């Protein structure tokens, strides 16, 4: 039999052990409370701008800005740099060089320094699919080589079948963004003859298949750049409206296959619209351009107007859901042909420049399909 004194000793030992356990638990709980909570997954910002058209006057300006030593395209983009450089990922559209004077476009020849100017401004990738992509084979090759050397990714055109199959996947903060690019072939502006893989042409089923493949390759967000629309028309045409509806309606296991559509090619700004829950920019206009003439042969100042879109994405609320756009903004710009500078219209108007009419015209076009009710706002270049 266990003696009474031994029983008391055992009970005391048990009490001390329990007290020690409580003390250790309290210490652990206190330490856990003192530790900072794990950071919530952050989102990212994406900015995108319109056509960069290296017309002869643009190249001349870059030569002047270089002070006699080659070409410097960075100063003409300085008005966009505060916005572009602060984004997690920034997309541009570089239309290929073409010969002659077609559709009011001045003849041009762009030196490779244009790619370095885009890189210095902060652009990560350029869409290059356009109706002029293969007009000049040598210029086509030079353009892609220059982008490669400057470290700017490119989507939409390719020098080989293997390159055509490769995916542009960009790191945007914690997310991976796929950038796809396509162009319409029209009777008025047929694509030059070339291998079928050299330039991505608009094909609804192919675009959806590419988007799904990008998702399978690890893309959290799929962005599609489309060179489309009717020149000098500030409203989307039926082809744009139909394609936007079909692309944004495509889903896989309830998740949209495409997260953002960016349009170029119409020469002038066109509306933003939320279609099937996905933002569509029908046309961003020309960010950098020479003097342009519309279909009636009249100089048209709208050809120098554009917008930059800025979209803030938040991480999925649950596994398998989409990254949602929590803030959508547009920033109106104009390319000052005399100064050779892309100018933020909001900033210029605030500084007293007589550009209020241009700003208001761009704003009215952008909001003409009801984007304001879905939360689209006019932003500031530094993010205020």
* pLDDT tens-digit map of 78-90: 999 999 999 999 9
Q: 295 versus 77: which is more confidently predicted?
A: 77
Tokens coding 369: 């399909």
| Residues 234, 286 contacting (CB under 8 angstroms) | no
| Spatial distance between the Cα atoms of 256 and 268, rounded to a whole number of angstroms | 29
3-state secondary structure of 108: coil
- Strand-pairing partners, residue 278, are 275
Task: Sort strands 44-52 and 286-288 into parallel, antiparallel or unpaired.
Answer: parallel
Mean pLDDT of 329-353: 82
Q: How confident is the model at residue 66 (pLDDT cuts 50, 70, 90)?
A: very high
- Closest by Cα among 77, 82, 81, 90 to 44: 90
3-state secondary structure of 215: helix
Q: What is the pLDDT of residue 11?
A: 47
Q: What is the pLDDT of residue 55?
A: 87
- Strand-pairing partners, residue 285, are 306
Residue 282 pLDDT greater than 60, yes or no:
yes
pLDDT, the chain, mean: 85
Q: What does R_g of the chain's alpha carbons equal in angstroms?
A: 27
All structural domains of the chain, each given as residue ranges with its CATH number in brackets, are: 44-378 (3.60.21.10)
- Cα-Cα-Cα-Cα dihedral sign, residues 200, 204, 207, 213: negative
pLDDT tens, 176-204? 999 999 999 744 555 556 688 989 999 99
Mean pLDDT of 119-139: 88
- Closest by Cα among 241, 280, 289, 286 to 259: 280
The upper half-sphere exposure of residue 225, i.e. CA atoms within 13 Å in the direction of its Cβ, equals 34
pLDDT tens, 136-180? 777 778 889 999 999 999 999 999 999 999 999 999 999 999 999
Q: 31 versus 283: which is more confidently predicted?
A: 283
Mean pLDDT of 286-313: 89
pLDDT tens, 214-239? 999 999 999 999 999 999 999 999 99
Q: What is the pLDDT of residue 111?
A: 84
Mean pLDDT of 100-127: 76
Q: Is 111 exposed, middle or buried (0-12, 13-18, 19+ CB in 10 A)?
A: middle
Q: What is the pLDDT of residue 259?
A: 98
Residue 19 pLDDT greater than 60, yes or no:
no
């Amino acid at each position: 039999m266990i003696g009474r004194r031994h029983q008391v000793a055992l009970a005391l030992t048990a009490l001390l052990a329990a007290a020690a356990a409580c003390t250790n638990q309290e210490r652990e709980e206190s330490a856990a409370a003192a530790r900072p909570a794990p950071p919530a997954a952050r989102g990212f910002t994406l900015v995108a701008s319109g056509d960069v058209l290296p017309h002869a006057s643009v190249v001349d300006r870059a030569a002047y800005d270089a002070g006699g030593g080659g070409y410097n395209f960075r100063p003409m983009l300085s008005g966009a740099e505060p916005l572009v450089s602060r984004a997690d990922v920034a997309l541009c559209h570089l239309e290929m060089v073409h010969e002659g004077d077609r559709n009011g476009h001045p003849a041009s020849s762009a030196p490779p320094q244009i790619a370095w100017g885009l890189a210095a401004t902060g652009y990560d990738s350029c869409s290059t699919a356009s109706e002029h992509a293969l007009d000049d084979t040598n210029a086509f090759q030079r353009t892609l080589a220059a982008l490669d050397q400057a470290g700017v990714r490119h989507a939409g055109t390719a020098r080989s079948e293997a390159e055509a199959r490769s995916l542009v996947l960009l790191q945007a903060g914690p997310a991976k963004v796929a950038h796809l690019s396509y162009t319409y072939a029209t009777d008025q502006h047929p694509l030059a003859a070339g291998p079928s893989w050299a330039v991505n042409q608009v094909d609804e089923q192919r675009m959806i298949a590419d988007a799904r493949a990008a998702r399978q390759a690890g893309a959290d967000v799929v962005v599609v750049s489309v060179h489309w629309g009717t020149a000098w028309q500030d409203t989307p045409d039926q082809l744009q409206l139909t394609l936007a509806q079909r692309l944004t309606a495509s889903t896989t296991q309830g998740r949209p296959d495409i997260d953002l559509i960016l349009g170029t090619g119409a020469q002038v700004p066109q509306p933003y619209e939320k279609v099937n829950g996905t933002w569509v920019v029908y046309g961003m206009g020309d960010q950098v351009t020479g003097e342009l003439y519309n279909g009636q042969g009249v100089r048209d100042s709208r050809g120098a107007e554009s917008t930059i879109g800025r979209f803030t994405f938040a991480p999925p609320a649950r596994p398998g859901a989409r990254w949602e756009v929590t803030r959508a903004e547009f920033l109106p710009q104009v390319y000052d042909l005399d100064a050779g500078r892309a100018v933020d219209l909001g900033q210029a108007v605030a500084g007293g420049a007589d550009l209020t009419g241009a700003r208001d015209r761009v704003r009215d076009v952008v909001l003409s399909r009801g984007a304001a009710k879905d939360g689209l706002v006019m932003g500031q270049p530094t993010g205020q």
